[in-house]
Structure 1
């Protein structure tokens, strides 16, 4: 599992570690890891370190020091290294002295912008601003980032791309776009959450010894194959279809029968033993999936279930949404609310539920629930997911390029927000969310918590989309069809 911590937590851990190390040792550890990453990139792009041209964009903080010491190591290996100092009087003195001794040179930002220095580089290292920066790049730093983006050189960010918000993933102004970010000690939220994640490129974590001083509970976490494998429901020798869980699907309408078919498709592949469907699209569901238990008497007469999914393709059928919430409340079973259900459900009923509730909005639906513009949600996804979870007292799966799963605070505080790493842009296709709803609802019915069902569902959904697409467009049905292969990949550890 990948974990991300806040700036405050990282700095506290660094202080604890530095108190036990010789002065400057921690920065040397970071610089060594950074230099090794730079050398690997230069080996791929320039063929070797010796004779390559490296430009360091150096600010006034420790990130600038890391870049300078790493540049000194590269200069000792024969690279031509130039440090562009955005604040010469505040540059890290020890790092600058080390670079000079190694044969590196300095340039002002004005000199760099007036020449082809950056354009001719094989590698640009971004050490302008560290994890404590706020707002976009200002002054001469902004045109330096713009020049680096326009040049043909590879760009490596030190710890975090300059100009992004470390704790939130927001990008409030000009920011560096890196091909690789070399981060130290632990991941930062901005490396996992859009829109900042798009600026980070690939991410390499360098161990500098912080782990003993990092708390057990991070701010964010991203599941990996082994984590998901431990959560996947598996039938035992005594299992039957009812012991494995039954999921109820109240989805679709005469106008949108396909939503019901797709939600059922996801549910059938999510680990529950049976799927009950209650809605007006029963004929379409049975024509595609005859194993579905179809009821024409509405949710109340559908039979016993261990979880409900309501909302996909419901149109304006507020009565069915209200009935599902009523029936689920009487039986005290979890409910997943998606799509039209998010608009039609009574917020007070959602907040008052005692059984788990999982809301699965995209950015537009989240904006409507919060009463803000969509752009506000997209620019501050972490804050939006957390606010929704608290406001509705429900677990929230906020869909998007990076899907977030946030649980409301409880007696023991708030569990880390989970970030799903498996998505692909090909998931932006009609009906994919319906498949995810059925899949996550089935995992709910099989006994997973709302947080685990949302996280595992998103992980499987993204992985299935990758398998189904393989670089080409795919339809929602293709995602559902690829779920078993994704499940097998995870379960086998491949």
Structure 2
């Protein structure tokens, strides 16, 4: 698992560790990591032109010390000080002693335009708001010059705790972060600005508390994949019920069932208006023409994709929510469900909205949800006492237990922004629920497999292409 901690947790851990170490040890560890990554990015250090854009405080100090290390290896290093009277004294002295030079104003802009590598040491993890004009001008010059930009701990201008970006922010090629990941490095819109992530161990692990964010990795997914045993049959493996599709939207039924069939459950029951289309594509499906209650026993339900907005659809959603098994609600089901019915449930509930659906459930604008994805998914999970999978450029999974970390999905591709891909995901997640996985685990694993399948699919892709790639993603995860 990849873990991320809040700014306060990092500061507390740093304080505890610094009390046991000689003064300046942590900064030297950070600077060593920064210099190593900078050298890797440059390829050849001797003769390279490096610029350190340094603000006040320890973030600028880390960058200045890193610049000093590269200067001692033969790089031409220039420091551009944004606050000369508040620059880190030790870092500045080290840079000068190593042969680096210090400039500001127009000379600083000129240095950036000739740089091969620029360190963003403007603000640290406590920074708020966007870049101010002097810093923004320097970074824009770096982009124009095609210099490699290496951010120190996180790109300046992003919120370390939430991933929010409220103004202009640094666009890094690489972000070198210390001790632990910060939530903003893993959550869009900030994650998109971080570039490649490099974590430098500075000794914080024993002092860090519970993480705020965690991201499934390959081994985590492999550890929870359902696997049939020698005594398994289709019923012991779990049966998932799918209530989806309609006369107008039969394709949604096919897509949701396609995801469910490849999700680990032993059988799929289908209820809805897309029966003919489902049987034509998946003749192994157990089709029922009655109500969900009359379809037979299931270990989990998926309800919502392509249901439309009819009285029958609304009744089907209510009936599924009344069942005493895990239920996943998606798409039209999110509009048709009653919040009171969700809150009355004792079995696990999973909601899988995209940003627009989340906005409607929260009474916010879509823009507000996309700008503050972490707060939005937490608020939804709390409001409905449900596991919430918020789809989007960063897919997040929040548990109804507020103390549990929010999970970030590391797989996926922008090509998943295609019609019907969410229906595949809902069927897949519902099938995993039917195998008796806990709701947050089923949602996290479904997002991981769904994103991995998309990466393994030739592009441009369709939703059914993703479903067809799920067995390959499954096998890939087990190796």
Provide closer, same or farther for how the CA distance between residues 109 and 388 of structure 1 changes in structure 2, counting only shifts above 3 A.
Answer: farther
TM-score (norm 2): 0.98
Structure 1 portions without partners, runs of 5+: none
Aligned to 2:12: 12
Following TM superposition, by how much is the alpha carbon of 1:328 offset from its aligned partner in structure 2, in angstroms? 4.7
The correspondence of residues 428-439 of structure 1 with structure 2, limited to 5 A, is 428-439=417-428
Aligned to 2:474: 487
Q: In structure 2, how many angstroms separate the alpha carbons of the residues matched to 1:110 and 1:345?
A: 60
Q: In structure 1, how many angstroms separate the alpha carbons of the residues matched to 2:319 and 2:277?
A: 26
Following TM superposition, by how much is the alpha carbon of 1:414 offset from its aligned partner in structure 2, in angstroms? 2.1
Following TM superposition, by how much is the alpha carbon of 1:151 offset from its aligned partner in structure 2, in angstroms? 2.2
Task: Indicate conservation of the 8 Å contact 2:321/2:345, yes or no.
Answer: no
Say whether 1:475 aligns with 2:462. Answer: yes
Q: In structure 1, how many angstroms separate the alpha carbons of the residues matched to 2:477 and 2:346?
A: 32
| Secondary structure, counterpart of 1:67 in structure 2 | helix
Match of 1:209 among 203, 210, 233: 203
Aligned to 2:213: 220
Q: Deviations over 1:55-113 (max 9, x none)?
A: 11100021100000000000000000001100001110000000000000011144323
Q: In structure 2, how many angstroms separate the alpha carbons of the residues matched to 1:370 and 1:151?
A: 43
Say whether 1:267 aligns with 2:260. Answer: yes
Q: In structure 2, how many angstroms separate the alpha carbons of the residues matched to 1:415 and 1:72?
A: 42
Say whether 1:123 aligns with 2:100. Answer: no
The correspondence of residues 9-408 of structure 1 with structure 2, limited to 5 A, is 9-43=9-43, 48-113=44-109, 115=110, 117-215=111-209, 217-329=210-322, 331-408=323-400
| Secondary structure, counterpart of 1:290 in structure 2 | coil
Provide closer, same or farther for how the CA distance between residues 41 and 151 of structure 1 changes in structure 2, counting only shifts above 3 A.
Answer: same
Task: Indicate conservation of the 8 Å contact 1:300/1:324, yes or no.
Answer: no
Q: Deviations over 1:314-340 (max 9, x none)?
A: 1113533443443452x4101100011
Q: In structure 1, how many angstroms separate the alpha carbons of the residues matched to 2:316 and 2:252?
A: 19
Q: In structure 2, how many angstroms separate the alpha carbons of the residues matched to 1:100 and 1:23?
A: 21
Say whether 1:441 aligns with 2:433. Answer: no
Q: In structure 2, how many angstroms separate the alpha carbons of the residues matched to 1:25 and 1:211?
A: 16
Task: Indicate conservation of the 8 Å contact 2:303/2:320, yes or no.
Answer: no
Task: Indicate conservation of the 8 Å contact 1:109/1:144, yes or no.
Answer: no
State the number of aligned residues. 479
Aligned to 1:459: 448
Q: In structure 1, how many angstroms separate the alpha carbons of the residues matched to 2:70 and 2:127?
A: 27
| Secondary structure, counterpart of 2:450 in structure 1 | helix
| Secondary structure, counterpart of 2:56 in structure 1 | coil
Task: Indicate conservation of the 8 Å contact 2:115/2:142, yes or no.
Answer: no
Task: Indicate conservation of the 8 Å contact 2:304/2:317, yes or no.
Answer: no
Q: In structure 2, how many angstroms separate the alpha carbons of the residues matched to 1:385 and 1:436?
A: 18
Return structure 1 stretches of 4+ with deviation > 4 angstroms: none
Q: In structure 2, how many angstroms separate the alpha carbons of the residues matched to 1:134 and 1:453?
A: 35
Q: In structure 2, how many angstroms separate the alpha carbons of the residues matched to 1:327 and 1:406?
A: 22
